[in-house]
Structure 1
Amino acid sequence: MRLIRRLLVTVAVLLVLLGLAVWGAVRYVAPQEELNLESTPLLLEKKVLEMAIELKPEMTLSSEELNQLIKGYLRQNPRVGSHLLLDGADFNLEGNLLSARVNVTYMGLVQAGATAQYELSWDKPYLRAIPQRLTVRSLDLPASWLEAFEVPLNKELPEWVKISKVAFDDSQIRVGFQAAWPSAGWMLERLRELRD
């Protein structure tokens, strides 16, 4: 009887310790900052029209504009890994590397704050982000836990404009275009919108 009691007490103590360890781990990986996926829609059509007026077949997207574009896309497609859902993010462009501070939920249970790094490439008609690194606090995790994602840049553009090239600078992306002339009615309507 005494042996059974000791065994039960030992099991109970181990369960309490295990519970405390799990609780501590969950608290350790919990997000440290509030992030969301709210974004301001980019008016790329307006930028393209200004580019056409200046007869300059190139447009730049700043790091902040890219942040807004990607957040808008990921708000509609928040699955960033097989068991990871994106709750919030903030992206920063450094050449062709995209650094991200993210808040994710793992398996619908555990919320975590992490940093991720993606390599950007242009794979017509998509801006492709390939995961390179994933870190939760000081713990490096396999980048394979994240999935690559593709942002369709053409979706935001008028149909008469096609992207011909994309170049990555320090904190901006340069987008080159090929354009067929739009109809006169379309151009006049857009010019009126710009004036207003």
Structure 2
Amino acid sequence: MRLLRRFVTVLGVLLLLLGLGVWGLIRYIAPQEPLDLDAPRVNMEKKVLEMAIELKPELTLTSEEVNSLIKGHLQENPKLENGIELQGADFKLNGNLMSARVNLTYLDLVQIGAAAQYRLVWEKPNLRIIPEQLNARSVTLPSGLLKEIVVPLGSELPSWVGISQVTFEESQVRIRFQAKLPDPGWLIDRLKEIS
């Protein structure tokens, strides 16, 4: 009988310690800052029309505009892999690499604040954003928890414009175009319509 009480006591203490450990881990990886997926829309058609009026065959997207494009795309489908949902993010461009602060939810129960690293690849007509690293504070998580993000840049453009080259610079993306330019008067009228 005494042995059974000791066993139950030891088992109870172990379960309590396990519960405290899990609770501590959940508190440790919890988000440190509020993030969301709200972002101003980047009007690519307007940017292309302004570029055409200035007779420049390229435009530049800042890190903030790239952040807005990605967040706008993710608003439509924040579900990632294996029951993980993206609650918020903030992306920062550094050449063909992109760092991100992300807030995730696992099975609608556990909230995780993490830092992610992505590699940017241009594969006409899409900008592919491939996850390479994921850390929740000092805990390294499998990057496979994040899915590849595909932003269809080509579909954001007017039909008379195609992308010929994308270059990743330190804090911007430079996009070169090939175009069959319509009448300049049409360009000005169309720009007035969408402004």
1:1-196 matches, within 5 Å, as: 1-182=1-182, 187-193=187-193
Residue 106 of structure 1 and its aligned partner are, at CA, apart by 1.9
Q: Secondary structure at the match of 2:181?
A: coil
Cα 1:170/1:85, change in 2 over 3 Å: same
Give the TM-score normalised by the residue count of structure 2.
0.93
Q: Secondary structure at the match of 1:80?
A: coil
Unaligned runs of 5+ in 2: none
Residue identity over aligned pairs, in percent, reads 57
Counterpart Cα distance in 1 of 2:184 and 2:67? 33
Unaligned runs of 5+ in 1: none
Counterpart Cα distance in 1 of 2:81 and 2:182? 40
Residue 155 of structure 1 and its aligned partner are, at CA, apart by 2.3
- My pick for the range that moved more, 137-146 or 159-168, is 137-146
Q: Secondary structure at the match of 2:80?
A: strand
Query: Alignment RMSD, CA only?
Result: 1.8
Q: Secondary structure at the match of 1:164?
A: strand
Q: Secondary structure at the match of 1:79?
A: coil
